[in-house]
């Protein structure tokens, strides 16, 4: 394995308990909640696949078997659809299995995002890799991951994605203090803080759920003490890497200005479904006028 080969591995943490969506998530992983007609997680795996990340490692936990089933083949269902000549449904069923090679590992203790990423250490080895958080969906028409991979290759360190948010929203995110890099479209990260109070936030640049990391992050994570919420935070490990010297140090950020949908809480989840459904050719033309009437009638 060489360190400078193009990023091909993606890690998708999916061990969260989904308590915000109880009781829907009592017996079903939150990643399987449908966004229009496909589980949220499938958008994320499809995004990874589109960026050339064909080796996906999902970090799962208890009651997550439905995830494995979803990305597996269902020969009997496929045979029935084929016999009926329902090629469109067959295509949609097979789509999920054609996205790449998916591996699973369990995070035994829910010790936070940093700990979940550390569970990928052995699978990833000594290569740069991507991390995609399942709560964030990036519109497929807007490029982000492939740009981040290019920046990682150019800078040799780690790369995060940030987005401008209203200052009062910053406490829901990791927050980055950045400075411009001459002649480049990306910025240098000077510091990071996980979910700061509004008055302590160094900027209104929120960390969004896409990372391309140098494997040195694993060493740092092993030493990272529990931070906000008593959890081992990826943000804290990246803060350490940003200030470190030597190979694999340094963090840069790509400022994303495209469309992001958050499925992490009930309100934003509903907004994500409505936004995506309105864009769909098969649903938008009927949904949008209905929505307008519905809103006008309230």
Binding site for ligand G1P (CB under 6 A): 113, 133, 135-136, 173-174, 194, 206-209, 233-235, 264
Give the shortest CB-86-to-ligand G1P separation in angstroms. 37
Smaller CB separation from ligand G1P, 8 or 203: 203
Nearest to ligand G1P of 191, 284 (CB atom): 191
Alpha-helical runs (H) found in the chain:
40-50, 65-70, 75-84, 87-95, 113-118, 121-124, 145-155, 216-223, 234-243, 266-279, 284-296
Whether the CB-CB separation of 162 and 190 falls below 8 Å is answered with no
Minimum Å gap between C-beta 34 and ligand G1P is: 20
In the complex, least distance from residue 125 CB atom to ligand G1P, rounded to whole angstroms: 24
Q: Which is nearer to ligand G1P, 127 or 236 (CB)?
A: 236
CB of 113 to ligand G1P, least distance (A): 5
Q: Which residue is nearest to ligand G1P (CB)?
A: 174
Between 127 and 194, CB nearer to ligand G1P: 194
Instruction: Print burial letters for 59-97: b (CB count within 10 Å at least 16), e (below 16).
Output: bbbeebeebeebbeeeeeeeeebeeeeeeeebeeeeebe
Nearer to ligand G1P among residue 71 and residue 173 (C-beta): 173
d(CA 78, CA 164): 44
The b-or-e profile of 240-276 (16+ CB within 10 A means b, else e) is bbbebeeebbbbbbbebeeebbbbbeeebbeebbebb
Question: Please, what is the minimum distance in Å from the beta carbon of residue 122 to ligand G1P?
Answer: 23
């Amino acid at each position: 394995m060489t360190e400078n080969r193009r990023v091909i591995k993606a890690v998708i943490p999916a061990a969260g308990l989904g308590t915000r969506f109880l009781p829907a998530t009592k017996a079903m992983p939150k990643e399987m909640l449908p966004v229009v007609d496909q589980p949220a997680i499938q958008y994320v795996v499809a995004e990874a696949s589109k960026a050339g990340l064909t080796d996906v490692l999902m970090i799962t936990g208890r009651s997550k078997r439905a995830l494995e089933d979803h990305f597996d083949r269902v020969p009997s269902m496929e045979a029935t659809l084929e016999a009926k000549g329902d090629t469109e449904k067959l295509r949609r069923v097979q789509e999920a299995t054609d996205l790449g090679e998916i591996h699973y590992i369990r995070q035994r203790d829910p010790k936070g995002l940093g700990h979940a990423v550390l569970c990928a250490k052995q699978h990833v080895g000594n290569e740069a890799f991507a991390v995609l958080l399942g709560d964030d969906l990036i519109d497929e028409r807007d490029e982000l991951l492939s740009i981040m991979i290019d920046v990682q290759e150019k800078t040799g360190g780690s790369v995060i994605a940030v987005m401008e948010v209203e200052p009062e929203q910053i406490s829901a995110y990791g927050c980055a203090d950045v400075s411009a890099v001459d002649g480049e479209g990306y910025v240098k990260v000077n510091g990071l803080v996980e979910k700061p109070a509004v008055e302590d936030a160094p900027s209104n640049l929120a960390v969004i759920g896409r990372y391309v990391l140098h494997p040195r992050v694993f060493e740092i994570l092993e030493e990272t003490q529990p931070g906000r919420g008593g959890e081992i935070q990826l943000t804290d490990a990246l803060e350490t890497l940003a200030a470190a010297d030597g190979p694999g140090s340094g963090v840069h950020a790509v400022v994303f200005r495209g469309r992001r949908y958050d499925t992490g809480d009930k309100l934003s989840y509903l907004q994500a479904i409505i936004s995506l459904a309105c864009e769909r050719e098969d649903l938008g033309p009927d949904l949008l006028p209905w929505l307008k009437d519905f809103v006008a009638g309230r």
